[in-house]
């Protein structure tokens, strides 16, 4: 019997080193004379038969042609392919019928291959990775992975005893993707990819870059998950969210690390699940009046101490708190409560864990080969090669994936400066200039622009935010104007300057008045978010309340004053969890916020101040409509250094829609302090951070002040005010 297979193919199969297994295994024409030959590699099998798919009748006994389990059956009188199964017999008398994975057609069509090769398949997550599927009436899972330089790729898992010889994959050389359909694999199956590099060396087993679900660290396998069929009930939010993400909409963001916001002390101090957070976190944020929740990275990550900023599976929400549909449930509940969801998105680097993207197919596939381009020394991570179209498309597809599959409203892109500067945190000789001799990462710039363009084009009401710490121009301006295309940018300069000022003993603040005013020189160059983030309460910086000077009363007065200043300055708002009620200790990702502090009036007072500021900010057009436009802000007096007092006004689209803000940054009360105002009439005191309901001394202006026709600060009218110590006061005209 001529089995139409040469010894080299057999040896390559049994040695798990065949680069084109579909050319040998499965059904094949025998030659010009016709007939079908079926070949199978079935290790650990005593014997095998080909059986009719419909009846189960034995069609042929297969012949073992290699002792390790290569079998052949010939059907010389059959010219057409037919449906069949393989019946395996084992030592001890057991047997089972199995599908032959090598009888099924390719997973990828020609158009998918073309787009993947071109790096323009913006929904590549629909083809790459693991997807439950039905081929020719048979249920299973289709697997696909990009590994263009590999000599052989096998999918291994609990469905094939983790044996890399059993399911070597088909390669499409046009796009470098290996794929196959495996009958019997199911939702919940654990899997990885076994890759033999171009030199023949076996790589460490690799997790799926497109995995939708993964094992809990320290385990590293990917898990098959079916994302289809989830029943969303947030249609009203999705249809109206565009109005909530514009520059003139109020945006007050509560930043959360899901694992340490609140824990369950009765069950080993475990973190709350996604579904528990959907009840507790959502109701808490809604009560405090925030418009959005920003979640620190939820993509699966192996190291807890990275806080998610070293992700290993960009398409998988971490299993620490539940399954992917549980995370969808959390997002859905946010939207039902009228709260938007922003994800921290890490596209700047990835960890060096052996099961990750590094040296993926035996070459530097996702990263640069030269460490001067491809490695972050500070973080011990690898940098994406943005100039490679397939890599840029992988990241772009991921950004769109979160919005499509999880209804995410916004992406806050982490560490943008590290992406766009080739010399970021590098000394001379540690980086390579671009083709024009500059320090700009041209590939990263092109990637960011395209990603921003696609986010806004593909998903109505979605937006992006840049964490960009330099003076790179036009970060939040459209790409057609020469910008990077982000919707917003964190104002890192404002944060550094104002926190430095607030940490000073008030006696010295008169000498640092410019720390509060300097930010207005550039406040409208970008669409800014005033962010007091997790980075400001870690690494020895202490808690936000801990950075305030003075005794306990003064610390909390300073904190409330800072909140009032922040909420009345131009720009959207972001505050890290716990800061709203004055947590006493530096944030610890392994613990929980100290909720017991809310038994004390000063902590409840700080929380109440944030609640009222959020509601005031949202309800007052003058405080948000022109957050990003210069005619929405004007100083009344920014020169009172000696008394450390600032006064300014905010305007809405209606020019007469005005609020007046006065901040006293010393513990000395000021009587009969006069400030000019643009309109006559009665001014209501709509917020006073020194109110007794917040824990203050309750000094103020009796609820309202009548403007005097006394010119002051360039205005025809003025107010004579009582300024409480270490307090911010907000007034609004009741007429005019």
Give me the helices (H) in 196-323, please. Answer: 235-240, 274-288
- Assigned domain for 165 exists: yes
| Residues 79 and 144 reside in one and the same domain | no
| Residues 83 and 128 reside in one and the same domain | no
- The pLDDT of residue 73 is above 90: yes
**Nearest Cα to 28, choosing from 48, 56, 2?**
2
Report pLDDT digits (tens) over 127-175: 999 999 999 999 999 999 999 999 999 999 999 999 999 999 999 999 9
From 414, 526, 627, 690, active-site residue: 414
- The CATH number assigned to the domain holding 724 equals 2.60.40.1180
| Residues 178 and 153 reside in one and the same domain | yes
Residue percentage of the chain with pLDDT more than 70: 99
Mean pLDDT of 357-366: 97
From 367, 404, 467, 685, active-site residue: 467
Q: 571-604 burial, b if ≥16 CB within 10 A, otherwise e?
A: bbbbbbbbbbbbbeeebeeeebbbeebeeeebbb
- Assigned domain for 117 exists: yes
| Residues 150 and 99 reside in one and the same domain | no
Verify cis geometry, omega within 30 degrees of 0, for the bond prior to 649: no
- Assigned domain for 300 exists: no
Report pLDDT digits (tens) over 613-644: 999 999 999 999 999 999 999 999 999 999 99
- Assigned domain for 44 exists: yes
CA distances to 66, 261, 281, 572 from 290, rounded to whole Å, are 68, 16, 12, 11
**Nearest Cα to 4, choosing from 22, 28, 21?**
28
Q: With contact defined as beta carbons under 8 Å apart, do 156 and 205 qualify?
A: yes
> Strand 463-466 vs strand 410-413: parallel, antiparallel, or unpaired?
parallel
- Specify whether 430 is catalytic: no
Tell me the pTM: 0.95
Q: Kindly report the length of the chain.
A: 736
* Torsions phi, psi for 290 (to 5 deg): -70, 150
- Assigned domain for 373 exists: no
The distance from CA 303 to its chain's CA centroid, rounded to whole angstroms, is 16
Mean pLDDT of 475-492: 98
Last residue of a domain, one of 179, 196, 223: 223
- The CATH number assigned to the domain holding 188 equals 2.60.40.10
* Torsions phi, psi for 705 (to 5 deg): -140, 135
- The pLDDT of residue 34 is above 90: no
Last residue of a domain, one of 193, 223, 253: 223
Q: With contact defined as beta carbons under 8 Å apart, do 644 and 664 qualify?
A: yes
| Residues 75 and 126 reside in one and the same domain | no
* Whole-number pLDDT of residue 6: 62
| Residues 83 and 121 reside in one and the same domain | no
Q: What 3-state DSSP class applies to 672?
A: strand
Report pLDDT digits (tens) over 271-319: 999 999 999 999 999 999 999 999 999 999 999 999 999 999 999 999 9
> Strand 252-256 vs strand 292-295: parallel, antiparallel, or unpaired?
parallel
CA 608, CA 308: separation in Å to the nearest integer? 31
Report pLDDT digits (tens) over 409-435: 999 999 999 999 999 999 999 999 999
CA 216, CA 723: separation in Å to the nearest integer? 55
Residue 355 pLDDT level (bands cut at 50, 70, 90): very high
- Assigned domain for 201 exists: yes
Report pLDDT digits (tens) over 531-564: 999 999 999 999 999 999 999 999 999 999 999 9
CA 340, CA 332: separation in Å to the nearest integer? 10
Q: With contact defined as beta carbons under 8 Å apart, do 197 and 147 qualify?
A: no
Reading phi first (left if > 0) and then psi (alpha if -120 to 50, else beta), residue 129 is in left
Q: What 3-state DSSP class applies to 128?
A: coil
Q: Which residues 6+ apart lie within 8 Å of 396 measured at CB?
A: 122, 447, 450, 451, 454
* Whole-number pLDDT of residue 1: 44
| Residues 663 and 682 reside in one and the same domain | yes
Burial of 245 (0-12, 13-18, 19+ CB in 10 A): buried
| Residues 85 and 145 reside in one and the same domain | no
| Residues 81 and 120 reside in one and the same domain | no
Report pLDDT digits (tens) over 670-704: 999 999 999 999 999 999 999 999 999 999 999 99
CA 347, CA 581: separation in Å to the nearest integer? 32
| Residues 128 and 158 reside in one and the same domain | yes
Domain tally for the chain? 3
- Specify whether 467 is catalytic: yes
HEC-encoded secondary structure of 690-726: CCHHHCCCCCCCCCEEECECCCECCECEEEEEEECCC
| Residues 679 and 652 reside in one and the same domain | yes
**Nearest Cα to 686, choosing from 628, 615, 608, 627?**
615
- Assigned domain for 171 exists: yes
Mean pLDDT of the chain: 96
- Our CA angle for 627, 629, 635, nearest 5°, is 80
Q: With contact defined as beta carbons under 8 Å apart, do 366 and 391 qualify?
A: yes
61 beta partners = 49
| Residues 167 and 65 reside in one and the same domain | no
The CB density around residue 4, as the number of other CB atoms within 10 Å, is 16
Last residue of a domain, one of 80, 103, 126: 103
- Assigned domain for 66 exists: yes
Mean pLDDT of 197-202: 94
CA distances to 20, 259, 260 from 269, rounded to whole Å, are 51, 11, 10
- Residue span of the structural domain in which 649 resides: 631-733
């Amino acid at each position: 019997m001529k089995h139409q297979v040469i010894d080299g193919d057999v040896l390559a199969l049994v040695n798990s080193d065949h680069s084109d297994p579909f050319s040998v295994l499965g059904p094949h024409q025998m030659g010009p004379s016709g007939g079908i030959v079926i070949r199978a590699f079935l290790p650990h099998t005593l014997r095998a038969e080909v059986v009719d798919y419909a009846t189960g009748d034995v069609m042929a006994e297969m012949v073992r042609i290699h002792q390790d389990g290569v079998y052949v059956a010939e059907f010389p009188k059959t010219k057409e392919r037919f449906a069949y199964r393989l019946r395996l017999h084992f030592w001890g008398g057991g047997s089972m019928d199995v599908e032959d994975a090598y009888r099924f057609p390719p997973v990828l069509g020609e158009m998918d291959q073309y787009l993947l090769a071109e790096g323009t398949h913006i929904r590549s997550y629909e083809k790459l990775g693991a997807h439950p599927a039905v081929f020719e009436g048979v249920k299973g899972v289709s697997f696909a992975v990009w590994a263009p330089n590999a000599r052989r790729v096998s999918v291994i898992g609990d469905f094939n005893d983790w044996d890399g010889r059993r399911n070597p994959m088909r390669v499409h050389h046009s796009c470098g993707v290996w794929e196959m359909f495996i009958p019997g694999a199911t939702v919940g199956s654990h899997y990885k990819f076994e890759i033999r590099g171009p030199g023949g060396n076996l790589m460490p087993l690799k997790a799926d870059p497109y995995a939708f679900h993964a094992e809990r660290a320290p385990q590293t396998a990917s898990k098959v998950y079916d994302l289809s069929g989830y029943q969303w009930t947030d249609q009203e939010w999705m249809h109206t969210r565009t109005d909530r993400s514009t520059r003139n909409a109020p945006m007050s963001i509560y930043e959360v690390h899901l694992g340490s916001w609140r824990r369950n002390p009765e069950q080993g101090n475990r973190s709350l699940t996604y579904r528990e957070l959907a009840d507790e976190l959502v109701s808490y944020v809604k009560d405090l009046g925030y418009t959005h929740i920003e979640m620190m990275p939820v993509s699966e990550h192996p190291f807890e101490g990275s806080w998610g900023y070293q992700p290993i599976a960009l398409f998988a929400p971490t299993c620490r708190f539940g399954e992917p549909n549980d995370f969808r449930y959390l997002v859905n509940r946010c939207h039902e409560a009228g709260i938007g969801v922003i994800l921290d998105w890490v596209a700047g680097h990835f960890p060096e864990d052996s099961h990750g993207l590094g040296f993926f197919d035996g070459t530097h596939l996702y990263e640069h080969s030269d460490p001067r381009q491809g490695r972050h020394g500070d973080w011990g991570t690898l940098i994406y090669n943005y100039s490679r179209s397939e890599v840029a498309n992988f990241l772009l597809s991921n950004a769109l994936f979160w919005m499509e599959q999880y209804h995410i409203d916004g992406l806050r892109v982490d560490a943008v400066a590290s992406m766009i500067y080739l010399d970021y945190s590098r000394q001379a000789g540690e980086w390579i200039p671009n083709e024009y001799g500059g320090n700009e990462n041209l590939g990263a710039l092109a990637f960011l622009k395209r990603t921003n363009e696609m986010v806004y084009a593909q998903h109505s009401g979605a937006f992006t935010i840049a964490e960009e710490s330099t003076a790179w121009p036009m970060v939040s301006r459209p790409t057609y104007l020469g910008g990077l295309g982000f919707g917003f940018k964190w104002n890192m300069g404002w944060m550094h300057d104002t926190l430095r000022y607030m940490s000073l003993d008030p006696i010295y603040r008169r000498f640092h008045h410019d720390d509060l005013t300097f930010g207005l020189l550039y406040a409208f160059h970008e669409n800014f978010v005033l962010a007091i983030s997790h980075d400001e309460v870690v690494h020895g910086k202490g808690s936000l309340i801990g950075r305030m000077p003075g005794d306990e009363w003064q610390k909390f007065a300073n904190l409330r004053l800072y909140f009032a200043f922040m909420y009345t300055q131009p720009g959207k708002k972001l505050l890290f969890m716990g800061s709203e009620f004055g947590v006493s200790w530096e944030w610890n990702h392994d613990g929980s916020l100290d909720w017991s502090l809310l038994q004390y009036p000063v902590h409840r007072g700080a929380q109440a101040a944030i609640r009222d500021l959020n509601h005031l900010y949202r309800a007052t057009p003058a405080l948000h409509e022109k957050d990003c436009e210069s005619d929405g802000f004007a100083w009344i007096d920014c020169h009172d250094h000696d008394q450390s007092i600032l006064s300014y006004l905010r305007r809405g689209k209606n020019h007469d829609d005005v609020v007046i803000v006065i901040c006293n940054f010393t513990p000395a009360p000021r009587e009969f302090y006069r400030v000019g105002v643009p309109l006559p009439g009665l001014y209501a005191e709509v917020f006073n951070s020194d109110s007794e309901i917040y824990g203050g001394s309750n000094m103020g202006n009796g609820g309202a002040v009548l403007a005097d026709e006394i010119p002051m600060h360039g205005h025809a009218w003025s107010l004579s005010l009582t300024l409480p110590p270490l307090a911010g006061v907000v007034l609004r005209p009741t007429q005019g």
